[in-house]
Amino acid sequence: MAEGRWCCRRRWKRHIVRQLQQRDRAQKARFLDLVQSYNKLLEKSSLVDYFTETLQGDSLDKQMKLPPSSTQEPADMENDAAQTLVSLRRSYESQIVKLMSNNGELLCKMVEQNELLKARDATLEQQRSRLASLSEQLSMLEAECCQLQDQVEELTHWHATTKEQYNTLGNRWRQQDEEFRRETERVWELEKSLLRGKAQAAERKNQENERASRARLSKELKKATKRTVSIGEEPEEVEAEERKTPNKGTSELRSCENLCKRPFRSASATSMNLTRYMGVVKDWFDFRLKRGNSIGAVTEDRYCCIPTCVAACLPSRVSDEQEAHLSEINAIKFSPNSGLLATGGTDRLIRLWNVVGGRLENLQMLEGANGSITSVDFDPSGCHVLAASHNNAAQLWRIGDCKFKEILTGHTDKVTAARFRSTRYQAITGSRDRTVKEWDLGKGACSRTINAVSYCNDVVCCDTVIVSGHHDKTIRFWDSREPRCTQVIPVEGKVTSLSISQDQMHLLSCSRDDTLKVIDLRMLNIRQVFRADGFKCGSDWTKAVFSPDKSYALVGSADGTLYLWNMETGRLETRLPGVHRSSVNAVAWGPSGMFIGSVDRCRKVVLWR
Q: Dihedral (C-alpha) 564, 567, 570, 576: value to the nearest 10 degrees?
A: -10
* Nearest Cα residue to 409 out of 428, 430, 423, 395: 395
Instruction: State what percent of residues in the chain have pLDDT above 90.
Output: 44
Model confidence at 79: pLDDT above 80? no
Say which amino acid occupies 470: H
- Report the side by side order of strands in the sheet with 552-556: 544-546, 552-556, 562-566, 572-576
Better pLDDT: 49 or 274: 49
CB 301 within 8 A of CB 383: yes
Q: For residue 177, what pLDDT is reported?
A: 82
Q: For residue 284, what pLDDT is reported?
A: 44
Please state which of the ranges 81-85, 304-308, 387-391 shows the lowest mean pLDDT: 304-308
Model confidence at 14: pLDDT above 80? yes
Please state which of the ranges 199-208, 262-271, 275-284, 500-509 shows the lowest mean pLDDT: 262-271
Give the predicted TM-score (pTM) of the model: 0.53
* Nearest Cα residue to 433 out of 455, 416, 448, 450: 455
Residue 69 dihedral angles phi and psi, to the nearest 5°: -80, 145
Across the range 367-383, mean pLDDT stands at 91
At 362, the pLDDT band (50, 70, 90 cuts) reads very high
CB 470 within 8 A of CB 456: yes
> What tens digit of pLDDT does each residue of 210-243 get?
888 788 888 888 777 776 655 444 444 434 444 4
CB 435 within 8 A of CB 473: no
Q: Quick one: how far is CA 154 from the chain centroid?
A: 41
Better pLDDT: 91 or 348: 348
272 burial via Cβ count (<10 Å: 0-12, 13-18, 19+): middle
Better pLDDT: 231 or 110: 110
CB 92 within 8 A of CB 52: yes
> What tens digit of pLDDT does each residue of 50-69 get?
776 666 665 555 555 545 44
Beta-sheet pairing, 359-366 with 572-576 = unpaired
- As beta bridge partners, residue 456 has 470
The CB-side HSE value for 247 (13 A sphere, CA atoms) comes to 5
Across the range 236-265, mean pLDDT stands at 40
Q: For residue 73, what pLDDT is reported?
A: 56
> What tens digit of pLDDT does each residue of 191-213 get?
778 878 877 887 787 788 788 87
Across the range 176-205, mean pLDDT stands at 82
Q: Dihedral (C-alpha) 135, 137, 139, 145: value to the nearest 10 degrees?
A: -140
DSSP for 101-152?
Answer: HHHHHHHHHHHHHHHHHHHHHHHHHHHHHHHHHHHHHHHHHHHHHHHHHHHH
- As beta bridge partners, residue 439 has 427, 446
The CB-side HSE value for 311 (13 A sphere, CA atoms) comes to 2
CB 345 within 8 A of CB 371: no
- Angle formed by the axes of helices 74-226 and 248-261, to 10°? 30
Please state which of the ranges 21-30, 114-123, 139-148, 317-326 shows the lowest mean pLDDT: 21-30
Please state which of the ranges 114-118, 202-206, 292-296, 347-351 shows the lowest mean pLDDT: 292-296
> What tens digit of pLDDT does each residue of 149-162 get?
999 999 999 999 99
Model confidence at 143: pLDDT above 70? yes
Q: For residue 297, what pLDDT is reported?
A: 35
Across the range 259-269, mean pLDDT stands at 37
Highest-confidence range of 109-113, 302-306, 449-453, by mean pLDDT?
449-453
Beta-sheet pairing, 572-576 with 584-589 = unpaired
CB 580 within 8 A of CB 561: yes
> What tens digit of pLDDT does each residue of 571-600 get?
999 999 989 999 999 999 999 999 999 999
> What tens digit of pLDDT does each residue of 505-546 get?
999 999 999 999 999 999 999 999 999 999 999 999 999 999
Across the range 365-373, mean pLDDT stands at 89
Model confidence at 443: pLDDT above 90? no
> What tens digit of pLDDT does each residue of 289-307 get?
333 333 333 333 434 445 5
* Nearest Cα residue to 106 out of 29, 46, 27, 30: 46
Say which amino acid occupies 450: I
SS3 65: helix
CB 315 within 8 A of CB 576: yes
Across the range 451-462, mean pLDDT stands at 92
- Report the side by side order of strands in the sheet with 596-600: 318-323, 604-608, 596-600, 584-589
At 310, the pLDDT band (50, 70, 90 cuts) reads low
Q: How far apart are CA 545 and CA 562, in angstroms?
A: 12
Q: How far apart are CA 396 and CA 384, in angstroms?
A: 7
